[in-house]
Structure 1
């Protein structure tokens, strides 16, 4: 990206709608309720021939520093400091307010380029608000409609004029010559168990109930107050992604909104937040479910774990607020017992006591995330699987159904992420569920795959003489 742009303005003037228009995706939540956006959200923007990094921010309001609105304002000011240019959005339909005047004064004091954007200019009666914007002393306003995409060419020209053509269109760097790596041909053996690639970026989603300490945990990883936190439950609404390095590996971590019981989610805005969290879970590779160690294993906690496993993600449990636990050894033993008893579908799932407030256990948590992702990517050769299948059938043969013994003939791994296996057998519809659980637990134990979802698919054996029966 060539430069960074921050979208600022008072609440409900259309900042997130403009952000979504520029990034070309509906990343930010949009609703008629003022103050939907709270954290600053980055994105890669495209405007005609311009390419730049853009930051969506919370609506600026006058509030005390220790209030939620005051902390939101601090996040927005950090975005302005980080950006090379600010898009100051005003509502042309409603007109100027004293808050707009105050924000204009603040932006002037920053001394950075500002483009004044008069949004909702397509509305009837917006001319008065457009001409009032001249009084802010930030130059000629650029009339647009973020919702309908009108005025984007004028906005592009205004950004180029404010930032300068040299910064808007830098000279492309000479690309270094790279060696061409040929993909394996069809004739090569693909059964080989490939080594785990610990250099590729890892996507991690942090989920849990409201006020479990998810944003505080990510801030502790980053070493800065990147995400909005506080004693209020449900502060986070958007799923915000942040990147950082851990032992030389890029980690892309997603902070998500707290997930309450479905029956309690009635407001439209909370439904949008939960849907955004579900998208983050599907996009991630490893999901950390944050429990409150003082009240762990609530029904909602178990439902979140089950949801993550059904989505096929690698899961790690983090018992947060460990600094508030009075008898850690006794509580830890109780948590391990409940873990085995209440989560039988994820036998061996890794669980780590941590404290996002003090930083206790975070190194161990990251190591468990990497180890779980390694298992989630694991591939086992067909030869080893078939030797194992033969052994488990000798130890515990498949049951007889209607007087006929079931036969499991052949097994192979069809995919990883999560590990999925195909077993060729007679009468797959008659294989009982308890025998599939026996095979799943055997795979976990014998191939060291704890805590990740394992899929086993059954397929009927092809009969080479089937066509002869049809002829008769």
Structure 2
């Protein structure tokens, strides 16, 4: 089931990170710091009034020049409107109302998502008059808060929880026997092409109206069983929505893809990590792989565009696999397959690897089996001696 997303937006130093930490709480650590195009942004799981969600601190930007600042605010607003279910916009009460605050309010009000406007750094009654000028924004409600001290924060969180969407009924009906598969990778790695190849049909993998749907489009995939008479295997292919509207691509595609990737990994059992074989493993590939490992999901690494790798020889695949293992040693357990999503080369082997990966992920090791493994390990690699005794 997909968790709703709460995005926190605002200028630098208005208290976004402080509010974010209160929102995710002490029970859940920040999941990952994922670099975007300008600054790092943080992601974390949280719960308010029994409702689980994914919180995003949209990060900072370079405020050196006003025109750059306003452009960054527009970029943040687009990301929030595209991916979030609920938006919390924060202003700095002590700094007063700024042109950037006016711009982001204007943009957020154009969208269809619920927006909660909070004036931060209102640390007591003597600061409450600072809220007055923010009513010039024409919003229905302003929440005076102190993210640092907690004043007013609970009221804001209750209002946010009240506007979180309910889980879609269709997602709740997915049985445990269904493997949920997310196709993830950096932009232009071939995700949409692979999905078309696996689904056996040409699909329009574009959601070009931000704010009209809460979740990515899921698609059922049925694969006939190898044994005659056995039922077909069903898979739920997650995040088949593909790219966003074309006019956003230059400014926000990488940021939006990070949010969508995180959301897909969170819902999946097994992730198909597409790596462009013509480029090798990049920093962005490694960050996505780390998200998969940290979430405890299964992973199949697909070296896509293998047909475009020049001057291949018998040693090329072995060298490519060694390079991947060297760069992604923390998921050394993940199988690697070279494919071409465009031509379908070896695509028929993918779902078999998904089955094997999920079976391994669900495997439970008995205590006796674990003890035998540890005994064998100790016999093979004796512990060091300290003060004439084995450690």
Q: Deviations over 1:177-201 (max 9, x none)?
A: xxxxxxxxxxxxxxxxxxxx97255
TM-score (norm 1): 0.45
Query: CA contact under 8 A between 2:298 and 2:334: conserved in structure 1?
Result: no
**Partner residue, 2:247:** none
Instruction: Give the SS at the match of 1:89.
Output: strand
Which one of 361, 364, 368 corresponds to residue 353 of structure 2? Answer: 368
* Preserved CA contact (<8 Å) 1:9 1:89: yes
**1:93 touches 1:124 (CA, 8 Å); kept in 2?**
no
Equivalent residue, structure 2, for 1:317: 301
Q: Distance in 2 between matches of 1:98 and 1:317?
A: 46
Distance 1:60 1:342 in 2: 32
CA distance in 1, matches of 2:47, 2:125: 29
Please give the residue correspondences for 1:344-423 in structure 2 after superposition, counting only pairs within 5 Å: 349-354=335-340, 364-377=349-362, 414=366, 422=372
Given the superposition, is the C-alpha separation of residues 432 and 129 from structure 1 closer, same or farther in structure 2, using an over 3 Å criterion? closer
Does residue 78 (structure 1) correspond to residue 82 (structure 2)? The answer is yes
Q: CA deviation digits over 1:84-134, x for unaligned, max 9?
A: x54332122322210111222233444765432112323999556423212
Preserved CA contact (<8 Å) 2:191 2:274: no
Q: Return 5+ residue gaps in structure 2 as ranges.
A: 170-174, 196-203, 209-214, 222-233, 240-257, 383-391
Q: TM-score, normalised by structure 2?
A: 0.52
Give yes or no for the alignment of 1:120 onto 2:121: yes
Q: Which residue of 1 aligns with 2:30?
A: 27
Deviations 1:309-349 (A, max 9, x none): 9x99865332245465345xx25751136637996997994
Aligned residues: CA RMSD: 6.2
Corresponding position of 2:58: 58
What is the distance in 1 between the residues matched to 2:367 and 2:216? Answer: 29
**21 and 29 in structure 1: CA distance in 2 versus 1, 3 angstrom threshold:** farther
Q: Distance between the aligned counterparts of 2:181 and 2:9, measured in 1?
A: 29
Distance 1:339 1:38 in 2: 31
**1:128–1:287 distance in 2 versus 1, CA, 3 Å:** same
Closer, same or farther: CA 42–251 of 1 in aligned 2, 3 Å:
farther
Structure 2 CA distance for aligned equivalents of residues 52 and 347 of structure 1: 30
Residues 225 and 12 (structure 1), Cα distance of their counterparts in 2 relative to 1, 3 Å cut: farther
> Is structure 2 residue 215 aligned with structure 1 residue 214?
no
Higher relative contact order (CA 8 A, sep 6+): 2
Structure 1: unaligned runs, 5 residues or longer: 174-196, 207-212, 227-240, 254-272, 380-412, 434-472
| Offset from partner CA, 1:11-40 (integer Å, 9 cap, x none) | 443345434423433436689x9964669x
- Cα distance change on mapping 1:361 and 1:132 into 2, 3 Å: farther
Is the CA contact 1:11–1:35 (under 8 Å) kept in the aligned structure 2? Answer: no
Contact 1:289 1:318 in 2 (8 A): yes
Distance change (3 Å), C-alpha of 1:218 and 1:26: farther
Query: Alpha carbons of 1:217 and 1:295: their partners in 2 closer, same or farther (altered >3 Å)?
Result: closer
Say if 1:366 and 1:153 are closer, same or farther in 2 by CA, change over 3 A: same
The answer (yes or no) to whether the contact 2:122–2:144 under 8 Å persists in 1 is yes
Alpha-carbon shift at residue 365 of structure 1 (Å): 4.0
Of 177, 183, 189, 1:199 maps to: 177
Gap change, CA 1:315 and 1:100, over 3 Å in 2: closer
Contact 1:119 1:145 in 2 (8 A): yes
Number of aligned residues: 310
Q: Residues of 2 paired with 1:71 and 1:315: CA distance? A: 32
1:334 is aligned to 316
Q: Distance between the aligned counterparts of 1:360 and 1:147, measured in 2?
A: 55
